[in-house]
Structure 1
Amino acid sequence: MSDNKPKKHGYVEIAGHYRKLIADGTLAPGDEMPSMSKVCKQFHVSITTANRAFRLLKSEGLTVPKPGVGTVVAEQPHVAATASARLNRIARTGQLYAPKERSVDHTAQLRSIADPILADHLGVELHDEIILRTRTFVRDGKKTVFAVSCIHMRALADVPELLSPEPFDRFWQEIYTARTGRAITKAPERRSARLANEHELKALGIDVEAGTPVPVLVLVNTFSDEDGPIEVWEDVYAPGLWQVDTE
Protein backbone atom coordinates (compact mmCIF):
# COMPACT_ATOMS: atom_id res chain seq x y z
CA MET A 1 0.00 0.00 0.00
CA SER A 2 1.51 3.34 -1.07
CA ASP A 3 2.05 6.13 1.40
CA ASN A 4 0.31 9.26 0.11
CA LYS A 5 0.99 11.37 3.17
CA PRO A 6 2.43 14.80 2.27
CA LYS A 7 6.15 15.16 2.86
CA LYS A 8 7.12 17.10 5.96
CA HIS A 9 9.97 19.57 5.82
CA GLY A 10 12.51 20.64 8.42
CA TYR A 11 13.03 24.27 9.32
CA VAL A 12 16.45 24.35 7.61
CA GLU A 13 14.92 23.16 4.34
CA ILE A 14 12.13 25.73 4.60
CA ALA A 15 14.63 28.50 5.27
CA GLY A 16 16.64 27.32 2.25
CA HIS A 17 13.54 27.56 0.06
CA TYR A 18 12.96 31.20 0.96
CA ARG A 19 16.69 31.97 0.86
CA LYS A 20 16.71 31.00 -2.82
CA LEU A 21 13.60 33.08 -3.55
CA ILE A 22 15.27 36.09 -1.93
CA ALA A 23 18.55 35.51 -3.76
CA ASP A 24 16.99 35.26 -7.22
CA GLY A 25 14.68 38.22 -6.74
CA THR A 26 11.38 36.36 -6.60
CA LEU A 27 11.17 37.96 -3.17
CA ALA A 28 12.78 41.39 -3.51
CA PRO A 29 13.90 43.77 -0.73
CA GLY A 30 10.80 45.21 0.96
CA ASP A 31 8.51 42.35 -0.09
CA GLU A 32 6.38 40.86 2.64
CA MET A 33 7.16 37.29 3.62
CA PRO A 34 4.26 34.81 3.65
CA SER A 35 2.30 34.38 6.85
CA MET A 36 3.15 31.64 9.30
CA SER A 37 -0.16 29.93 8.59
CA LYS A 38 0.62 29.85 4.87
CA VAL A 39 4.05 28.39 5.51
CA CYS A 40 2.56 25.73 7.79
CA LYS A 41 0.01 24.77 5.15
CA GLN A 42 2.48 24.76 2.24
CA PHE A 43 5.12 22.66 3.99
CA HIS A 44 2.86 20.63 6.29
CA VAL A 45 4.70 21.69 9.43
CA SER A 46 3.87 23.04 12.85
CA ILE A 47 3.96 26.72 13.76
CA THR A 48 7.07 25.96 15.81
CA THR A 49 8.96 24.67 12.74
CA ALA A 50 7.83 27.61 10.59
CA ASN A 51 8.89 30.05 13.29
CA ARG A 52 12.35 28.44 13.54
CA ALA A 53 12.80 28.79 9.78
CA PHE A 54 11.90 32.48 9.92
CA ARG A 55 14.23 33.05 12.88
CA LEU A 56 17.06 31.50 10.86
CA LEU A 57 16.42 33.85 7.94
CA LYS A 58 16.35 36.80 10.30
CA SER A 59 19.64 35.73 11.95
CA GLU A 60 21.24 35.66 8.48
CA GLY A 61 20.13 39.24 7.84
CA LEU A 62 17.81 38.22 5.01
CA THR A 63 14.60 39.42 6.66
CA VAL A 64 13.61 42.13 9.13
CA PRO A 65 10.45 42.87 11.12
CA LYS A 66 8.32 45.78 9.89
CA PRO A 67 5.77 47.26 12.30
CA GLY A 68 2.23 46.97 11.06
CA VAL A 69 3.24 44.63 8.22
CA GLY A 70 5.09 41.61 9.59
CA THR A 71 8.33 40.21 8.22
CA VAL A 72 9.82 41.67 5.04
CA VAL A 73 12.88 40.96 2.92
CA ALA A 74 15.86 43.05 4.03
CA GLU A 75 18.01 45.29 1.87
CA GLN A 76 21.34 43.65 1.02
CA PRO A 77 23.71 46.35 -0.29
CA HIS A 78 26.87 44.43 0.61
CA VAL A 79 25.99 41.09 -1.01
CA ALA A 80 27.36 39.83 -4.33
CA ALA A 81 26.43 36.47 -5.82
CA THR A 82 29.01 33.96 -6.95
CA ALA A 83 29.15 32.86 -10.58
CA SER A 84 27.58 29.53 -9.65
CA ALA A 85 24.75 31.38 -7.95
CA ARG A 86 24.20 33.56 -11.02
CA LEU A 87 23.94 30.46 -13.21
CA ASN A 88 21.49 28.83 -10.80
CA ARG A 89 19.36 31.98 -10.84
CA ILE A 90 19.35 32.10 -14.64
CA ALA A 91 18.38 28.43 -14.86
CA ARG A 92 15.55 28.87 -12.34
CA THR A 93 14.15 32.23 -13.34
CA GLY A 94 15.66 33.28 -16.67
CA GLN A 95 16.77 36.52 -14.99
CA LEU A 96 20.31 37.61 -15.90
CA TYR A 97 20.54 40.01 -12.96
CA ALA A 98 19.66 40.07 -9.29
CA PRO A 99 17.34 42.80 -7.93
CA LYS A 100 18.84 46.29 -8.41
CA GLU A 101 21.75 44.79 -10.36
CA ARG A 102 23.11 45.59 -13.81
CA SER A 103 26.39 45.34 -15.69
CA VAL A 104 28.43 48.13 -17.27
CA ASP A 105 31.62 48.74 -19.23
CA HIS A 106 31.25 45.74 -21.53
CA THR A 107 34.21 44.90 -23.78
CA ALA A 108 34.90 42.16 -26.33
CA GLN A 109 38.12 41.60 -28.25
CA LEU A 110 40.67 39.11 -29.50
CA ARG A 111 43.64 38.98 -27.13
CA SER A 112 46.62 36.77 -26.40
CA ILE A 113 46.15 35.11 -23.02
CA ALA A 114 48.83 36.25 -20.59
CA ASP A 115 47.73 34.51 -17.40
CA PRO A 116 49.27 31.01 -17.14
CA ILE A 117 46.58 29.79 -14.72
CA LEU A 118 43.70 30.84 -16.98
CA ALA A 119 45.53 29.47 -20.04
CA ASP A 120 45.88 26.11 -18.29
CA HIS A 121 42.19 26.05 -17.34
CA LEU A 122 41.19 26.90 -20.92
CA GLY A 123 43.50 24.24 -22.35
CA VAL A 124 45.56 26.61 -24.51
CA GLU A 125 49.18 27.65 -24.62
CA LEU A 126 50.34 30.84 -22.94
CA HIS A 127 49.95 33.80 -25.36
CA ASP A 128 47.54 31.90 -27.65
CA GLU A 129 44.77 34.06 -29.08
CA ILE A 130 41.41 33.90 -27.28
CA ILE A 131 38.15 35.84 -27.11
CA LEU A 132 38.22 38.11 -24.08
CA ARG A 133 34.98 39.60 -22.76
CA THR A 134 34.80 41.78 -19.64
CA ARG A 135 32.08 43.58 -17.70
CA THR A 136 31.55 45.06 -14.25
CA PHE A 137 28.53 44.18 -12.15
CA VAL A 138 26.85 46.99 -10.23
CA ARG A 139 24.30 46.38 -7.49
CA ASP A 140 22.35 49.12 -5.81
CA GLY A 141 24.80 51.68 -7.22
CA LYS A 142 27.91 49.87 -5.94
CA LYS A 143 30.45 48.14 -8.20
CA THR A 144 30.70 44.60 -6.91
CA VAL A 145 32.41 42.27 -9.38
CA PHE A 146 34.81 42.68 -12.29
CA ALA A 147 34.06 39.69 -14.51
CA VAL A 148 36.42 38.33 -17.17
CA SER A 149 35.41 35.65 -19.69
CA CYS A 150 38.18 33.85 -21.56
CA ILE A 151 36.59 31.94 -24.45
CA HIS A 152 38.23 29.40 -26.74
CA MET A 153 38.59 30.53 -30.35
CA ARG A 154 36.64 27.52 -31.64
CA ALA A 155 33.44 29.03 -30.20
CA LEU A 156 33.67 31.97 -32.59
CA ALA A 157 32.66 29.95 -35.65
CA ASP A 158 29.26 29.18 -34.13
CA VAL A 159 28.71 32.36 -32.10
CA PRO A 160 30.38 35.24 -34.00
CA GLU A 161 28.44 37.68 -31.81
CA LEU A 162 31.02 37.01 -29.11
CA LEU A 163 33.16 39.77 -30.60
CA SER A 164 30.42 42.34 -30.08
CA PRO A 165 30.68 44.17 -26.74
CA GLU A 166 26.89 44.31 -26.51
CA PRO A 167 25.56 42.04 -23.74
CA PHE A 168 23.56 38.99 -24.79
CA ASP A 169 19.88 38.80 -23.91
CA ARG A 170 20.54 35.26 -22.66
CA PHE A 171 23.56 33.23 -21.62
CA TRP A 172 25.75 32.87 -24.74
CA GLN A 173 26.44 29.21 -23.96
CA GLU A 174 22.73 28.52 -24.49
CA ILE A 175 23.05 29.96 -27.98
CA TYR A 176 26.12 27.81 -28.63
CA THR A 177 24.32 24.66 -27.49
CA ALA A 178 21.24 25.48 -29.57
CA ARG A 179 23.36 25.96 -32.71
CA THR A 180 25.73 23.02 -32.23
CA GLY A 181 23.79 20.51 -30.14
CA ARG A 182 26.77 20.34 -27.77
CA ALA A 183 26.02 20.52 -24.07
CA ILE A 184 28.33 22.52 -21.82
CA THR A 185 29.12 21.50 -18.26
CA LYS A 186 30.76 23.45 -15.42
CA ALA A 187 33.57 22.24 -13.19
CA PRO A 188 33.49 23.00 -9.44
CA GLU A 189 34.11 26.65 -8.62
CA ARG A 190 37.64 27.52 -7.47
CA ARG A 191 38.32 30.32 -4.97
CA SER A 192 41.51 32.12 -4.06
CA ALA A 193 42.75 35.52 -2.92
CA ARG A 194 45.41 37.83 -4.32
CA LEU A 195 46.23 41.50 -4.74
CA ALA A 196 44.21 43.40 -7.34
CA ASN A 197 46.04 44.85 -10.34
CA GLU A 198 45.59 48.45 -11.51
CA HIS A 199 43.08 47.54 -14.21
CA GLU A 200 40.88 45.66 -11.74
CA LEU A 201 41.03 48.53 -9.23
CA LYS A 202 39.93 50.96 -11.93
CA ALA A 203 37.12 48.69 -13.09
CA LEU A 204 35.81 48.37 -9.51
CA GLY A 205 36.14 52.10 -8.83
CA ILE A 206 38.64 51.61 -6.01
CA ASP A 207 40.63 54.83 -5.59
CA VAL A 208 43.91 54.25 -3.75
CA GLU A 209 47.43 55.58 -4.06
CA ALA A 210 49.60 53.82 -6.64
CA GLY A 211 51.26 50.77 -5.16
CA THR A 212 48.75 50.35 -2.33
CA PRO A 213 48.04 46.61 -1.89
CA VAL A 214 44.32 45.77 -2.13
CA PRO A 215 43.45 42.11 -1.40
CA VAL A 216 40.55 40.71 -3.43
CA LEU A 217 38.67 37.43 -3.60
CA VAL A 218 38.89 35.70 -6.98
CA LEU A 219 36.50 32.98 -8.20
CA VAL A 220 37.33 30.87 -11.27
CA ASN A 221 34.85 28.70 -13.18
CA THR A 222 35.71 26.44 -16.12
CA PHE A 223 33.16 25.29 -18.70
CA SER A 224 33.68 22.42 -21.16
CA ASP A 225 31.91 20.67 -24.00
CA GLU A 226 32.80 17.32 -25.57
CA ASP A 227 35.95 18.80 -27.13
CA GLY A 228 37.33 20.17 -23.87
CA PRO A 229 37.38 23.55 -22.10
CA ILE A 230 35.51 26.29 -23.94
CA GLU A 231 35.27 29.13 -21.41
CA VAL A 232 36.89 30.24 -18.17
CA TRP A 233 35.38 32.89 -15.90
CA GLU A 234 37.47 34.92 -13.50
CA ASP A 235 35.40 37.04 -11.14
CA VAL A 236 37.22 39.62 -9.02
CA TYR A 237 35.18 40.82 -6.02
CA ALA A 238 35.38 44.29 -4.53
CA PRO A 239 36.61 44.31 -0.91
CA GLY A 240 34.03 44.32 1.88
CA LEU A 241 31.39 42.15 0.18
CA TRP A 242 29.69 38.98 1.33
CA GLN A 243 29.58 36.25 -1.31
CA VAL A 244 26.33 34.33 -1.70
CA ASP A 245 26.28 31.02 -3.58
CA THR A 246 22.74 29.85 -2.84
CA GLU A 247 20.91 31.70 -5.64
Structure 2
Amino acid sequence: MSGNKPKRTGYADIASHYRKLIADGELAPGQEMPPMSEVCKKFKVSITTANRAYRLLKSEGLTVPKPGVGTVVAEQPGVASSASARLKRIERTGQPYGHGEKSVDHTAALRSIDDPVLVEQLGVDFRDEVVVRTRTFVRDGKRTVFAVSCIHMRALGDVPELLSTEPFGQFWQEVYKARTGKTVTKSPERRSARLAKDYELEALRIDVEPGTPVPVLVVVNTFSDDEGPIEVWEDVWAAGLWQVDTE
Protein backbone atom coordinates (compact mmCIF):
# COMPACT_ATOMS: atom_id res chain seq x y z
CA MET A 1 0.00 0.00 0.00
CA SER A 2 1.46 3.32 -1.03
CA GLY A 3 1.54 6.18 1.45
CA ASN A 4 0.42 9.72 0.80
CA LYS A 5 2.98 11.69 -1.14
CA PRO A 6 4.01 15.03 0.40
CA LYS A 7 2.51 18.01 -1.38
CA ARG A 8 4.92 19.66 -3.78
CA THR A 9 5.53 23.36 -3.41
CA GLY A 10 4.28 25.23 -6.47
CA TYR A 11 4.91 28.74 -7.72
CA ALA A 12 1.56 29.91 -6.28
CA ASP A 13 2.59 28.70 -2.80
CA ILE A 14 5.84 30.64 -3.04
CA ALA A 15 4.05 33.77 -4.25
CA SER A 16 1.55 33.44 -1.38
CA HIS A 17 4.40 33.20 1.14
CA TYR A 18 6.02 36.43 -0.02
CA ARG A 19 2.66 38.15 -0.47
CA LYS A 20 2.01 37.61 3.24
CA LEU A 21 5.46 38.94 4.18
CA ILE A 22 4.80 42.08 2.13
CA ALA A 23 1.37 42.53 3.73
CA ASP A 24 2.80 42.06 7.23
CA GLY A 25 5.58 44.56 6.58
CA GLU A 26 8.31 41.97 7.08
CA LEU A 27 9.31 42.86 3.53
CA ALA A 28 9.03 46.65 3.42
CA PRO A 29 8.62 48.91 0.36
CA GLY A 30 11.96 49.27 -1.42
CA GLN A 31 13.46 46.22 0.28
CA GLU A 32 15.24 43.73 -1.92
CA MET A 33 13.52 40.39 -2.43
CA PRO A 34 15.56 37.23 -1.70
CA PRO A 35 17.68 36.12 -4.65
CA MET A 36 16.31 33.31 -6.81
CA SER A 37 19.00 30.91 -5.61
CA GLU A 38 17.84 31.41 -2.02
CA VAL A 39 14.20 30.85 -3.00
CA CYS A 40 15.12 27.62 -4.79
CA LYS A 41 17.03 26.36 -1.76
CA LYS A 42 14.36 27.41 0.75
CA PHE A 43 11.45 25.77 -1.07
CA LYS A 44 13.40 23.00 -2.85
CA VAL A 45 12.15 24.05 -6.27
CA SER A 46 13.66 24.69 -9.68
CA ILE A 47 14.72 28.11 -10.91
CA THR A 48 11.78 27.94 -13.34
CA THR A 49 9.27 27.62 -10.48
CA ALA A 50 10.91 30.39 -8.45
CA ASN A 51 10.99 32.68 -11.47
CA ARG A 52 7.31 32.02 -12.17
CA ALA A 53 6.43 32.97 -8.57
CA TYR A 54 8.37 36.22 -8.88
CA ARG A 55 6.70 37.02 -12.20
CA LEU A 56 3.31 36.57 -10.51
CA LEU A 57 4.23 39.00 -7.72
CA LYS A 58 5.42 41.49 -10.31
CA SER A 59 2.20 41.16 -12.33
CA GLU A 60 0.22 41.91 -9.15
CA GLY A 61 2.15 45.14 -8.65
CA LEU A 62 3.75 43.91 -5.43
CA THR A 63 7.33 43.97 -6.68
CA VAL A 64 9.31 45.87 -9.30
CA PRO A 65 12.71 45.34 -10.95
CA LYS A 66 15.52 47.66 -9.84
CA PRO A 67 18.56 47.94 -12.12
CA GLY A 68 21.75 46.84 -10.44
CA VAL A 69 19.87 45.40 -7.47
CA GLY A 70 17.31 42.85 -8.62
CA THR A 71 13.69 42.67 -7.52
CA VAL A 72 12.41 44.94 -4.75
CA VAL A 73 9.07 45.45 -3.01
CA ALA A 74 6.99 48.14 -4.72
CA GLU A 75 6.82 51.50 -2.95
CA GLN A 76 3.04 51.28 -2.65
CA PRO A 77 2.10 47.63 -3.17
CA GLY A 78 -1.57 47.22 -4.04
CA VAL A 79 -2.38 44.72 -1.34
CA ALA A 80 -5.04 44.59 1.36
CA SER A 81 -6.03 42.03 3.97
CA SER A 82 -9.31 40.32 4.70
CA ALA A 83 -10.60 39.54 8.19
CA SER A 84 -9.06 36.07 7.92
CA ALA A 85 -5.72 37.53 6.94
CA ARG A 86 -5.79 39.94 9.86
CA LEU A 87 -6.49 37.12 12.31
CA LYS A 88 -3.62 35.07 10.95
CA ARG A 89 -1.32 38.10 10.96
CA ILE A 90 -1.97 38.55 14.67
CA GLU A 91 -1.16 34.87 15.19
CA ARG A 92 2.09 35.24 13.21
CA THR A 93 3.29 38.67 14.32
CA GLY A 94 1.03 39.96 17.10
CA GLN A 95 0.28 43.01 14.94
CA PRO A 96 -3.26 43.91 13.75
CA TYR A 97 -1.96 46.11 10.92
CA GLY A 98 0.40 45.55 8.03
CA HIS A 99 3.23 47.87 7.01
CA GLY A 100 1.98 51.40 6.38
CA GLU A 101 -1.57 50.46 7.39
CA LYS A 102 -4.03 51.94 9.87
CA SER A 103 -7.79 52.18 10.38
CA VAL A 104 -9.80 55.41 10.49
CA ASP A 105 -13.36 56.72 10.82
CA HIS A 106 -14.42 54.25 13.50
CA THR A 107 -18.12 54.19 14.41
CA ALA A 108 -20.11 52.08 16.88
CA ALA A 109 -23.86 52.06 17.49
CA LEU A 110 -26.90 49.94 18.25
CA ARG A 111 -29.10 49.44 15.20
CA SER A 112 -32.14 47.34 14.36
CA ILE A 113 -31.60 45.20 11.28
CA ASP A 114 -34.08 44.60 8.48
CA ASP A 115 -31.75 42.92 5.99
CA PRO A 116 -33.14 39.36 5.63
CA VAL A 117 -29.73 37.96 4.65
CA LEU A 118 -28.04 39.43 7.72
CA VAL A 119 -30.94 38.34 9.94
CA GLU A 120 -30.35 34.76 8.81
CA GLN A 121 -26.55 34.95 9.02
CA LEU A 122 -26.57 36.33 12.57
CA GLY A 123 -29.46 34.15 13.75
CA VAL A 124 -31.62 37.01 15.06
CA ASP A 125 -35.18 38.16 14.47
CA PHE A 126 -36.28 40.84 12.04
CA ARG A 127 -35.65 44.33 13.50
CA ASP A 128 -33.67 43.00 16.47
CA GLU A 129 -30.94 45.33 17.70
CA VAL A 130 -27.30 44.47 17.05
CA VAL A 131 -24.01 46.26 17.60
CA VAL A 132 -22.72 47.72 14.33
CA ARG A 133 -19.07 48.78 14.14
CA THR A 134 -17.53 50.30 11.00
CA ARG A 135 -14.01 51.39 10.06
CA THR A 136 -11.99 52.07 6.95
CA PHE A 137 -8.53 50.59 6.44
CA VAL A 138 -5.86 52.79 4.89
CA ARG A 139 -2.52 51.62 3.50
CA ASP A 140 0.16 54.13 2.53
CA GLY A 141 -2.44 56.88 2.41
CA LYS A 142 -4.85 54.96 0.17
CA ARG A 143 -8.23 53.77 1.42
CA THR A 144 -8.41 50.05 0.70
CA VAL A 145 -11.23 48.35 2.62
CA PHE A 146 -14.46 49.51 4.25
CA ALA A 147 -15.34 47.05 7.02
CA VAL A 148 -18.67 46.53 8.80
CA SER A 149 -19.12 44.23 11.81
CA CYS A 150 -22.61 43.28 12.98
CA ILE A 151 -22.32 41.74 16.44
CA HIS A 152 -24.95 39.80 18.41
CA MET A 153 -26.27 41.61 21.48
CA ARG A 154 -25.28 38.76 23.80
CA ALA A 155 -21.64 39.83 23.41
CA LEU A 156 -22.32 43.33 24.71
CA GLY A 157 -22.75 42.27 28.34
CA ASP A 158 -19.25 40.79 28.43
CA VAL A 159 -17.60 43.38 26.17
CA PRO A 160 -19.33 46.74 26.73
CA GLU A 161 -16.41 48.43 24.96
CA LEU A 162 -18.05 47.34 21.71
CA LEU A 163 -20.04 50.58 21.80
CA SER A 164 -16.87 52.66 22.02
CA THR A 165 -15.43 54.11 18.83
CA GLU A 166 -11.91 53.51 20.13
CA PRO A 167 -10.09 50.68 18.29
CA PHE A 168 -9.47 47.59 20.41
CA GLY A 169 -5.84 47.14 19.33
CA GLN A 170 -6.71 43.47 18.89
CA PHE A 171 -9.76 41.56 17.74
CA TRP A 172 -12.62 42.09 20.16
CA GLN A 173 -13.24 38.32 20.06
CA GLU A 174 -9.95 37.83 21.95
CA VAL A 175 -11.34 39.97 24.78
CA TYR A 176 -14.63 38.07 24.63
CA LYS A 177 -12.90 34.69 24.78
CA ALA A 178 -10.71 35.76 27.71
CA ARG A 179 -13.69 37.01 29.71
CA THR A 180 -16.10 34.15 28.95
CA GLY A 181 -13.84 31.16 28.35
CA LYS A 182 -15.77 30.47 25.16
CA THR A 183 -14.30 29.39 21.85
CA VAL A 184 -14.95 31.47 18.73
CA THR A 185 -14.71 29.81 15.33
CA LYS A 186 -14.85 31.22 11.80
CA SER A 187 -16.80 29.93 8.84
CA PRO A 188 -15.22 29.85 5.35
CA GLU A 189 -15.12 33.21 3.61
CA ARG A 190 -17.92 34.02 1.20
CA ARG A 191 -17.00 36.24 -1.73
CA SER A 192 -19.21 38.03 -4.21
CA ALA A 193 -19.31 41.11 -6.39
CA ARG A 194 -21.93 43.84 -6.40
CA LEU A 195 -22.30 47.55 -7.01
CA ALA A 196 -21.05 49.85 -4.26
CA LYS A 197 -23.52 51.74 -2.12
CA ASP A 198 -23.23 55.51 -1.77
CA TYR A 199 -21.88 55.41 1.80
CA GLU A 200 -19.26 52.84 0.75
CA LEU A 201 -18.08 55.08 -2.08
CA GLU A 202 -17.82 57.93 0.41
CA ALA A 203 -15.90 55.82 2.94
CA LEU A 204 -13.43 54.67 0.27
CA ARG A 205 -13.19 58.19 -1.22
CA ILE A 206 -14.25 56.98 -4.66
CA ASP A 207 -15.27 60.14 -6.49
CA VAL A 208 -17.69 59.44 -9.33
CA GLU A 209 -20.74 61.11 -10.81
CA PRO A 210 -23.98 60.31 -8.92
CA GLY A 211 -25.56 57.13 -10.23
CA THR A 212 -22.32 55.80 -11.72
CA PRO A 213 -22.15 52.01 -11.16
CA VAL A 214 -18.96 51.01 -9.32
CA PRO A 215 -18.37 47.27 -8.85
CA VAL A 216 -16.72 46.15 -5.61
CA LEU A 217 -15.57 42.85 -4.15
CA VAL A 218 -17.37 41.86 -0.94
CA VAL A 219 -15.84 39.33 1.46
CA VAL A 220 -17.99 38.07 4.35
CA ASN A 221 -16.88 36.10 7.41
CA THR A 222 -19.19 34.72 10.09
CA PHE A 223 -17.82 34.06 13.58
CA SER A 224 -19.65 31.79 16.06
CA ASP A 225 -19.38 30.70 19.67
CA ASP A 226 -21.08 27.69 21.27
CA GLU A 227 -24.45 29.49 21.19
CA GLY A 228 -24.38 30.25 17.47
CA PRO A 229 -23.33 33.16 15.22
CA ILE A 230 -21.90 36.10 17.13
CA GLU A 231 -20.47 38.35 14.40
CA VAL A 232 -20.86 38.89 10.68
CA TRP A 233 -17.90 40.84 9.28
CA GLU A 234 -18.20 42.30 5.79
CA ASP A 235 -15.24 43.78 3.91
CA VAL A 236 -15.91 45.98 0.88
CA TRP A 237 -12.79 46.23 -1.26
CA ALA A 238 -11.76 49.16 -3.39
CA ALA A 239 -10.92 48.28 -6.99
CA GLY A 240 -7.37 47.48 -8.04
CA LEU A 241 -6.26 45.65 -4.90
CA TRP A 242 -4.86 42.18 -4.38
CA GLN A 243 -6.14 40.23 -1.41
CA VAL A 244 -3.78 38.40 0.89
CA ASP A 245 -4.96 34.79 0.68
CA THR A 246 -5.20 32.87 3.93
CA GLU A 247 -7.58 29.97 3.44
2:81 is matched with which residue? 81
1:109 is matched with which residue? 109
Change in Cα spacing, 1:15 to 1:79, as seen in structure 2 (3 Å) is: closer
Change in Cα spacing, 1:43 to 1:191, as seen in structure 2 (3 Å) is: closer
Q: Report the alpha carbon displacement of residue 112 of structure 1 after superposing the two structures with TM.
A: 0.8
SS for the counterpart of 1:88 is helix
1:242 is matched with which residue? 241
Q: Report the alpha carbon displacement of residue 56 of structure 1 after superposing the two structures with TM.
A: 4.1
2:176 is matched with which residue? 176
Amino acid aligned to 1:42: K
Partners of 1:78 and 1:57 lie apart in 2 by 11
Determine if contact 2:60/2:78 at 8 Å carries over to the other structure: no
- TM-score, normalised via structure 2 length: 0.86
Q: Report the alpha carbon displacement of residue 44 of structure 1 after superposing the two structures with TM.
A: 4.4
Q: Report the alpha carbon displacement of residue 176 of structure 1 after superposing the two structures with TM.
A: 0.8
Determine if contact 1:149/1:231 at 8 Å carries over to the other structure: yes
Amino acid aligned to 1:188: P
**Is 2:89 the counterpart of 1:95?**
no
214-223 vs 151-160, which moves further: 214-223
Change in Cα spacing, 1:10 to 1:233, as seen in structure 2 (3 Å) is: closer
Change in Cα spacing, 1:107 to 1:60, as seen in structure 2 (3 Å) is: closer
Partners of 1:43 and 1:235 lie apart in 2 by 33
Q: Provide structure 2 residue ranges, at least 5 long, that are not aligned to the other structure.
A: 1-6
1:31 is matched with which residue? 31
User: 1:43-62 alignment to 2 at 5 Å?
Assistant: 43-45=43-45, 47=47, 49-62=49-62
2:4 is matched with which residue? none
22-31 vs 44-53, which moves further: 44-53
**Is 2:154 the counterpart of 1:149?**
no
Q: Provide structure 1 residue ranges, at least 5 long, that are not aligned to the other structure.
A: 1-6
Q: Deviations over 1:170-221 (max 9, x none)?
A: 1111111111111111111112222322222222223334333333222211
- TM-score, normalised via structure 1 length: 0.86
SS for the counterpart of 2:212 is coil
1:3 is matched with which residue? none
2:63 is matched with which residue? 63
Q: Report the alpha carbon displacement of residue 29 of structure 1 after superposing the two structures with TM.
A: 1.7
2:190 is matched with which residue? 190
Partners of 2:10 and 2:209 lie apart in 1 by 51
Change in Cα spacing, 1:213 to 1:90, as seen in structure 2 (3 Å) is: same
Partners of 1:207 and 1:52 lie apart in 2 by 36
137-146 vs 41-50, which moves further: 41-50
Q: Report the alpha carbon displacement of residue 11 of structure 1 after superposing the two structures with TM.
A: 4.5
Q: Deviations over 1:45-82 (max 9, x none)?
A: 55555445434433443322212222211234543322
Partners of 2:207 and 2:48 lie apart in 1 by 49
Please give the root-mean-square deviation of Cα atoms over the aligned residues, in Å: 2.4
Partners of 2:14 and 2:235 lie apart in 1 by 30
SS for the counterpart of 1:134 is strand
Q: Report the alpha carbon displacement of residue 227 of structure 1 after superposing the two structures with TM.
A: 0.4
Change in Cα spacing, 1:43 to 1:195, as seen in structure 2 (3 Å) is: closer
Change in Cα spacing, 1:211 to 1:17, as seen in structure 2 (3 Å) is: closer
Q: How many residues align?
A: 240
Amino acid aligned to 1:104: V
